[in-house]
Each structure stands twice: as structure tokens, then as C-alpha cells.
């Protein structure tokens, strides 16, 4: 799969100043094309990436809507015409003492020969010439496409780790910068889970606050590149082909380039995170809108709406809901841990196991018996569809009359399989249990009555209600009925099938799962 992203971002001014000051004007050309050459399979998210990038520019980078051109599904000639029109506008509208800044974004198919747009080809040299022809003082080009590293090769760039950027390589007050999603010869990748290009997702997430390593509420180009490099590398390290974003800077001046200012967000609100870590932010439809590895006290700029925020650790997940209004800061000081069983049933981990101990009571197995006590000890294995619980069980019943006292004890093993529905910390399940017991009956009487033994088979339905007070602890209430098949030792063919209801209360403590996705 190939993808292409082109962006030109710009700003001058000190780090502590907002990205748009008096005397600055920002323009943008944002392009997304799903269909490439005739032989290439259409991309799924290139045009969606372009829309998302455009919103970030207008909401956080102070690009006015009338100064942004969004092209979706267009060919190479239309893109060149759009860049030429922007070049004329910049020339015609420039004022003395005003600095022009250009943002250009392209997402689609590409290779070392150029960008593939609906059966047409825009060579990398044509692209660079069209961008350089725009008479803006600062130009930044970001390309997310297969083999897009050829652009930085043309500019003398190399694929390096983000933290190796030297001061002289920073984008400063004038000139041009090029950032690509992959090095020369590498494929760029889309992600169904992220619903977008891997590099684009991390670059945009960085601009929304995830890349603000300094915590000053501003995201510079250097911070955005560092963050997207590290996260793209981490994401694609699990794929057959890794991506190494690359860069080339040809700029003058001394100030780092501030791209977005979180405090000056337009049509956005903020999610403030007390503790740092790896977070996923989902919208009301369950789609990932942000995947961010952030420090303590980070703030993420999001569009108004309802969100589910999930923090992922090596063996634990935490969640909280947040409804964000425009201009509002929603502080998430504490997130609730997700019960281990729920993490499995939602597909976040492969399995989870726990030790279970419990007790309860049951109706008598035979007439004239008193109600008895039951005890169980076992293991619990949560899988995505079913929870399996093998257990040992012991019970004791008694009966008496004028002639004798009887004590009946049973000891055996059972296996239950339960399917659960989860509602936060609560879960309800329905299942089936089957097992076998050894039965001993001892008689106390003035006459003669030998002890009796039996082998008992049983099965029956069950219902469970569970509550998780903490991620590793679970309290369960179980009600069911055992349907017995009795075979007594001293009879030739005595069969009976009594139905015996029971109730259990149990407690489970989980081991840490091996993996949480």
C-alpha cells in the first residue's frame, strides 16, 4: 500500500509567542487522493487524512478558511493549478513588513517517480518547483507516501532519529523544510485501526498536543518531527516493513518554528491528563481519534464531543469518559482500571486467569435431608467468548429422625463455561456446568446400617452476576440447578434425577495478564 502526504507549515516568532502574530498570514493547500495509478489498489483513508489535517490547520495553526484550499480526489493538473493560484495570491496580497506562511498537504499514492493522482503523475521535481514558486518566506513540505524520502534526498536530507536534529537543522524564520513519512525506497502504511496513514496520524496527534514535550502549550516543527518519527517507528516495528520518516531543512534565522498553539485553539476543547503515558482517545462511534504517548500534565486539543479516553500500560488498562465543549478544559485526574476479564472479552488481551474461592448453600439431594453447605476452590480462565472455570467442590448434608442420624458428604470436580455481558464494573453471565462427585453416607443408629457410597454425575444451567471493585479482584454471585444422575453402589440399577438448586458467593483474584494490547 502506498500513501502520500504533503504539507507546508510555517511561522516566525519566538517560542513563547502564539503561532499567528500581527504581520503574519498563513496559506494552505491540502490534498488527499485515494485513487492512484490504474494498477494500484485504492487507498482507504488518504482523503480522510487530508480533511483531518485541514481541520488542525484552521483550528490550531490559525489558517483562515478562505486561505485554505482542500482538494480531494483531484488529478495532478488541478494540484499544480491550485499551487499556482496560491502563488499569485501570496504575491498580490503581500504587504510590507508582513510574513507569508504556506501549508501544503498531500495524501495518496506515490513512489520515487512522483505522486500518483487519479491516473496522472506529479513528479517530485514538479512538486518541489511548484512549492518553491510560492513567494512565501517560510515553506514546509511534509509528504506521507511510499518512497517519499526521495524528496529529502533531493534536498540532502537523511533518515535520522528525531533526537539527532541539530540546532542548525531546525526550521527557522525563513526558507523551506521537507518532512517525509518514509525514507527513499520504503513503503508508507495505512492502519485500519487508526483509520489513516500511520505517519499522518502521529504527526497530526503531535500537533494536537501529544508532541508538546516542553509543556509550554506550543508545538514546534522540531517537536512534531521528533514525536512522529518515534511513534511511526514504534507502530511499524510490528509490521513486515518499518517506516523511517526523514527530513531536509534549508532555512535561515534562529527561532524554532511554532506550528500550533494549544491555548489559542479555535473550535476546540482540551483533555488534560494528570499522569503521562500511552493514551488512546475514541470518539462516540468507537473510532480512534488520537493515539498519544505524553508526559505528565499534557493537554490534547480535540473537537467538541463525547470521548472515551483509555490509558494503556504493559498489563493494565484504564478508562474515563469525557464530554468536551468548545473552549472547555476537561481534566482527567483519575481513570478507572478496566477489570481483567473485561480486557479479554473486549479483545485488549488474549487471556486472564484467576484463583477462585467461594461457598454457599444448596437444597438437599434426597428427601428428608436438611439444606447443606457447599464450598468450591478453582481456577478461572477468561477468553474472549467464554470464561472457563474448573473447580473442586465439597458439600455436607445431614438428616435425623427418632431412629437414626445421617451425614452425607460429597467431594468432586466440575467445569463451567459462561458467556458474559459487561456494563462497566458489572457483568452478567449465563452458562452451563458439568461435573462428577463421590458421595459418602454414614448412619448413626441403634440398629445396623452400613455406610453407603455413590458415584454422582451432574449437569445444569447457571446464572452469574459479578462486580469488580478493582481490576484484579472480582466478587461473584452464582445461582443454578444441578440435575443429578445417581448410581448407588449396593443396587443393581437404581437411577434418580433430582434437580437441586444452589447459590454461591465467590471471590476471584487475577494474575497479571501476559499482554494487554
Residue 358 has pLDDT above 80, yes or no: yes
Does residue 389 sit in the same domain as residue 474? yes
Does residue 436 sit in the same domain as residue 291? no
**Nearest alpha-carbon partner for 256 in 513, 9, 503, 461:** 9
Alpha helices in 44-123 (DSSP H): 46-60, 76-93
Alpha helices in 181-337 (DSSP H): 198-205, 221-236
- Under DSSP, the state recorded for 234 is H
Residue 10 lies in a domain: no
Give the count of alpha carbons within 13 A of 110, CB side only.
37
Does residue 239 sit in the same domain as residue 283? no
Amino acid 240: pLDDT: 61
Amino acid 125: pLDDT: 84
Report how far apart the first and last C-alpha atoms of the chain are (Å, whole number).
24
CATH of the domain at 134: 3.40.50.1460
Residue 406 lies in a domain: yes
CATH of the domain at 376: 2.40.160.20
Amino acid 4: pLDDT: 35
Residue 123 lies in a domain: yes
Q: What is the pLDDT of residues 78-115, one digit of tens each?
A: 999 999 999 999 999 888 878 888 999 988 888 777 88
Question: Which of the listed residues 264, 284, 305 is the one where a domain comes to its end?
Answer: 264
Does residue 175 sit in the same domain as residue 230? yes
Per this entry, what is the length of the chain? Answer: 517
Does residue 310 sit in the same domain as residue 291? yes
Does residue 180 sit in the same domain as residue 280? no
Residue 135 has pLDDT above 60, yes or no: yes
Model pTM? Answer: 0.73
Please answer whether residues 415 and 434 qualify as being in contact, where contact means their C-beta atoms are separated by less than 8 angstroms: yes
Does residue 208 sit in the same domain as residue 304? no
Share of the chain above pLDDT 70, in %: 79
- Which of 2-16, 218-232, 494-508 shows the lowest per-residue confidence on average (mean pLDDT)? 2-16
Task: Name the residue range of residue 408's domain.
Answer: 345-510
* Average pLDDT over the chain, rounded to an integer: 81
Distance CA 340, CA 472 (A): 6
Bigger pLDDT: 405 vs 431: 431
Does residue 396 sit in the same domain as residue 501? yes
Q: What is the pLDDT of residues 20-46, one digit of tens each?
A: 444 789 999 999 999 988 888 888 888
Residue 290 lies in a domain: yes
Distance CA 3, CA 354 (A): 45
**Nearest alpha-carbon partner for 385 in 417, 340, 432:** 417
Distance CA 129, CA 456 (A): 86
Query: What are phi and psi for residue 208, nearest 5 degrees?
Result: -85, 0
Residue 72 has pLDDT above 50, yes or no: yes
Q: What is the pLDDT of residues 241-260, one digit of tens each?
A: 666 677 766 655 545 778 99
The mean per-residue pLDDT over the stretch 491-496 comes to 47
Residue 496 lies in a domain: yes
CATH of the domain at 326: 2.60.40.10
State the CB neighbour count (10 A cutoff) for residue 420.
19
Does residue 189 sit in the same domain as residue 246? yes
Amino acid 255: pLDDT: 58
**Nearest alpha-carbon partner for 271 in 311, 308, 324:** 324
Most confidently modeled of 157-161, 487-491, 512-516?
512-516
Residue 321 lies in a domain: yes
- Under DSSP, the state recorded for 327 is T
Please answer whether residues 441 and 410 qualify as being in contact, where contact means their C-beta atoms are separated by less than 8 angstroms: no
Amino acid 1: pLDDT: 38
The mean per-residue pLDDT over the stretch 177-187 comes to 65
Q: What is the pLDDT of residues 272-301, one digit of tens each?
A: 999 999 999 999 988 889 988 899 999 999
Distance CA 272, CA 259 (A): 20
Residue 394 has pLDDT above 50, yes or no: yes
Alpha helices in 237-366 (DSSP H): 340-345
How far are the Cα atoms of 275, 296, 297, 298, 384 from residue 333, in angstroms, in the given order?
8, 11, 10, 11, 30
Bigger pLDDT: 419 vs 220: 419
If one counts the domains in the chain, the total is: 3
Residue 89 lies in a domain: yes
Residue 265 has pLDDT above 50, yes or no: yes
Local confidence band at 225 (pLDDT 50, 70, 90 cut-offs) = confident
Does residue 316 sit in the same domain as residue 431? no
Local confidence band at 316 (pLDDT 50, 70, 90 cut-offs) = confident
For residue 378, the surrounding DSSP H or E stretch is strand 372-382
Does residue 320 sit in the same domain as residue 367? no
Distance CA 141, CA 146 (A): 15
How is residue 186 written as a grid cell? Answer: 520504503
The mean per-residue pLDDT over the stretch 483-511 comes to 75
Q: What is the pLDDT of residues 433-450, one digit of tens each?
A: 999 999 887 777 655 666
State the CB neighbour count (10 A cutoff) for residue 3.
34
List of E strands, 87-157: 99-107, 109-111, 114-117, 120-122, 138-144
Residue 13 lies in a domain: no
Does residue 111 sit in the same domain as residue 239? yes
* 259: exposed, middle or buried (Cβ count in 10 Å: 0-12, 13-18, 19+): buried
How is residue 131 written as a grid cell? Answer: 512549492
Question: Which of the listed residues 317, 337, 357 is the one where a domain comes to its end?
Answer: 337
Share of the chain above pLDDT 90, in %: 43
Question: Which of the listed residues 316, 337, 358 is the one where a domain comes to its end?
Answer: 337
Amino acid at each position: 500500500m502506498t500513501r502520500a502526504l504533503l504539507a507546508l507549515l510555517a511561522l516566525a516568532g519566538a517560542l513563547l509567542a502564539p503561532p499567528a502574530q500581527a504581520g503574519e498570514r498563513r496559506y494552505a493547500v491540502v490534498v488527499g487522493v485515494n485513487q492512484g495509478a490504474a494498477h494500484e489498489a485504492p487507498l482507504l483513508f488518504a482523503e480522510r487524512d487530508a480533511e483531518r489535517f485541514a481541520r488542525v490547520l484552521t483550528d490550531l495553526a490559525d489558517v483562515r478558511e478562505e486561505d485554505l484550499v482542500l482538494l480531494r480526489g483531484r488529478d495532478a493538473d488541478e494540484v499544480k493549478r491550485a499551487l499556482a493560484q496560491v502563488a499569485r495570491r501570496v504575491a498580490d496580497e503581500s504587504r510590507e513588513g508582513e510574513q507569508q506562511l504556506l501549508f501544503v498537504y498531500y495524501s495518496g499514492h506515490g513512489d520515487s517517480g512522483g505522486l500518483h493522482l487519479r491516473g496522472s503523475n506529479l513528479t517530485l521535481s514538479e512538486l518541489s518547483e511548484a512549492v518553491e514558486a510560492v513567494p512565501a518566506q517560510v515553506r514546509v513540505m511534509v509528504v506521507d507516501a511510499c518512497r517519499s524520502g526521495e524528496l529529502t534526498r533531493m534536498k540532502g536530507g537523511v533518515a535520522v532519529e528525531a533526537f539527532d536534529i541539530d540546532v542548525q537543522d531546525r526550521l527557522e524564520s525563513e526558507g523551506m523544510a521537507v518532512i517525509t513519512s518514509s525514507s527513499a525506497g520504503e513503503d508508507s502504511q495505512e492502519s485500519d485501526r487508526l483509520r489513516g496513514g500511520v505517519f499522518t496520524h502521529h504527526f497530526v496527534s503531535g500537533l494536537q498536543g501529544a508532541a508538546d514535550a516542553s509543556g509550554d502549550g506550543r508545538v514546534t516543527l522540531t517537536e512534531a518531527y521528533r514525536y512522529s518519527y518515534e511513534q511511526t517507528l514504534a507502530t511499524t516495528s510490528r509490521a513486515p516493513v518499518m517506516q523511517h520518516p526523514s527530513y531536509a531543512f534549508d532555512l535561515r534565522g534562529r527561532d524554532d518554528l511554532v506550528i500550533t498553539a494549544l491555548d489559542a485553539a479555535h473550535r476546540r476543547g482540551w483533555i488534560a491528563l494528570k499522569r503521562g503515558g500511552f493514551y488512546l482517545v475514541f470518539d462516540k462511534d468507537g473510532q480512534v481519534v488520537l493515539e498519544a504517548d505524553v508526559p505528565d500534565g499534557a493537554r490534547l486539543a480535540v473537537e467538541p464531543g463525547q470521548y472515551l479516553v483509555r490509558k494503556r500500560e504493559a498489563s493494565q488498562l484504564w478508562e474515563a469518559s469525557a464530554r468536551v465543549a468548545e473552549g472547555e478544559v476537561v481534566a482527567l485526574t483519575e481513570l478507572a482500571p478496566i477489570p481483567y476479564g473485561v480486557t479479554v472479552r473486549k479483545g485488549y488481551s488474549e487471556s486472564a486467569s484467576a484463583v477462585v474461592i467461594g461457598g454457599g448453600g444448596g437444597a438437599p439431594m434426597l428427601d428428608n435431608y436438611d439444606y447443606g453447605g457447599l464450598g468450591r476452590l478453582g481456577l478461572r480462565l477468561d477468553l474472549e467468548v467464554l470464561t472457563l472455570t474448573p473447580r473442586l467442590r465439597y458439600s455436607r448434608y445431614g438428616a435425623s429422625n427418632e431412629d437414626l442420624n445421617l451425614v452425607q458428604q460429597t467431594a468432586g470436580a466440575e467445569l463451567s463455561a459462561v458467556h458474559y455481558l459487561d456494563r462497566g464494573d458489572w457483568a452478567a453471565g449465563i452458562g452451563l456446568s458439568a461435573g462428577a462427585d463421590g458421595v459418602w453416607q454414614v448412619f448413626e443408629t441403634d440398629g445396623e446400617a452400613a455406610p453407603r457410597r455413590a458415584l454422582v454425575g451432574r449437569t445444569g444451567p447457571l446464572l452469574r452476576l459479578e462486580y469488580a471493585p478493582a481490576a484484579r479482584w472480582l466478587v461473584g454471585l452464582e445461582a443454578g440447578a444441578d440435575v443429578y444422575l445417581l448410581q448407588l453402589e449396593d443396587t443393581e440399577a437404581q437411577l434418580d434425577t433430582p434437580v437441586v438448586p444452589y447459590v454461591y458467593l465467590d471471590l476471584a483474584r487475577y494474575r497479571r495478564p501476559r499482554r494487554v494490547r
